[in-house]
């Protein structure tokens, strides 16, 4: 199993609850993490046996073009499309950030994150960070910091 990710995809879009946000638009950053089996693709060196980054990007771009009131809706739509497109996925995590949201003060960003399958809980990530430990040995590495 492996996590395949696209981080920092930047889009300008017209999402927001308020009419002004939908008219003026804003900048968004999208991160996508996908838990999938990659051994067959790695052995065969075959793009068609794994997740194609370009396809993931175009799914995200397509969904970001559809004006939406809630970030939750965008994230869930992307998750649904990825799960439909790639049958090898065992988990998906989507983070949608709105940069400089219009809240009446300086705020760098807001974000919504949705996850499904093995990536729906922090415990799902932990297996990727346990490989080098001796049995009973504590590791002070916090795997949640990896995704900040």
Q: Is 98 a catalytic residue?
A: yes
Q: Give the angle 110-115-116 at the CA atoms, nearest 5°.
A: 165
Closest CA to 14 of 58, 56, 65: 65
Q: Alpha-carbon dihedral of residues 94, 98, 104, 105, nearest 10 degrees?
A: 90
Structure-token pair, residue 101: 């949201």
Q: Tell me if 82 sits within 8 A of 32, measured CB to CB.
A: yes
Which one from 61, 65, 93, 98 is the annotated catalytic residue? Answer: 98
Catalytic residues: 98
């Amino acid at each position: 199993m492996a996590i395949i990710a696209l981080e920092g995809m930047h889009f300008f879009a017209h999402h927001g609850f308020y009419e002004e946000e939908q008219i003026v638009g804003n900048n968004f950053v999208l991160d996508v993490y996908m838990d999938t089996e990659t051994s067959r693709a790695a052995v065969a060196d075959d793009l068609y046996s794994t997740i194609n980054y370009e396809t993931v990007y175009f799914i995200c771009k397509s969904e970001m073009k559809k004006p939406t009131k809630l970030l939750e809706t965008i994230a869930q739509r992307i998750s649904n499309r990825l799960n439909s497109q790639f049958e090898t996925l065992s988990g998906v995590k989507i983070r949608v950030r709105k940069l400089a949201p219009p809240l009446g003060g300086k705020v760098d960003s807001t974000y919504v994150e949705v996850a499904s399958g093995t990536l729906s809980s922090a415990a799902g990530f932990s297996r990727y960070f346990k490989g080098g430990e001796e049995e009973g040995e504590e590791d002070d590495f916090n795997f949640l910091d990896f995704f900040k």
